Structure 1
Amino acid sequence: MGQLYYGDANEPITIEDRTLAHLKVVLATKLRRNESFTLSWQHPEGEQPGRSTLWLHPSIPLRFVFDDPVTPALSQQWLNELAASANSSGGIRLTEEHIEAVDETAGDKTPEDLQLA
């Protein structure tokens, strides 16, 4: 499990490494463009029931910590879905990857190979 630290919060948000790797690409793209937006997710099992939303702004510190030292191959389709939600009025809604919908002939790509609109 990876951790996302936002602002001066002492407690990180725990997110599975593969999900966090995809999220990192989308968040970095939006923040590099100086865009503010929200990020929402449902609390995982074992935590207090409910959901949370963060307001992300380029001036607030953000740190990603991964358990796995190797960057996973990333799904262009999942990145596109997350980026599209980031551009909506509701912001990014963190959802699970739709593995069955991935084009097997295209394969996963490294972060350097990916393009976001």
Structure 2
Amino acid sequence: MRSPRAVDHAATFRSKSDAASAAARLSELGFDVTARKRLFGSALEFCHVVPTDPQSAAAFTRAVVEVVEQHRGTYDGGGDSSSRRSRWRGAMHRERGRAAGATGSEASR
């Protein structure tokens, strides 16, 4: 069995108040939370040390997604710190595409 490791997560929210509410709940659950301003709305990065067995990881991810969705957010994924920079670059690229009027797959290019 592998030892627990820190997992970074990201979520986006249309409103600052939704992001703030989600951040408060995630903090209560033991996450280190960082808020980021976005062109439209807000984003959160949050981290917690989690077990690495598949069952625990799946349950933990479901709990994170539930908190994000309860606060009208979009879960952008999780991973170790090396994947965080790539994930944020992708989210910013999609956001710029939406701001320019692109939709669906056009915004992901």
- The alignment's TM-score, normalised by the length of structure 2, stands at 0.29
Structure whose residues are more often helix by fraction: 2
| TM-score normalised by L of structure 1 | 0.28
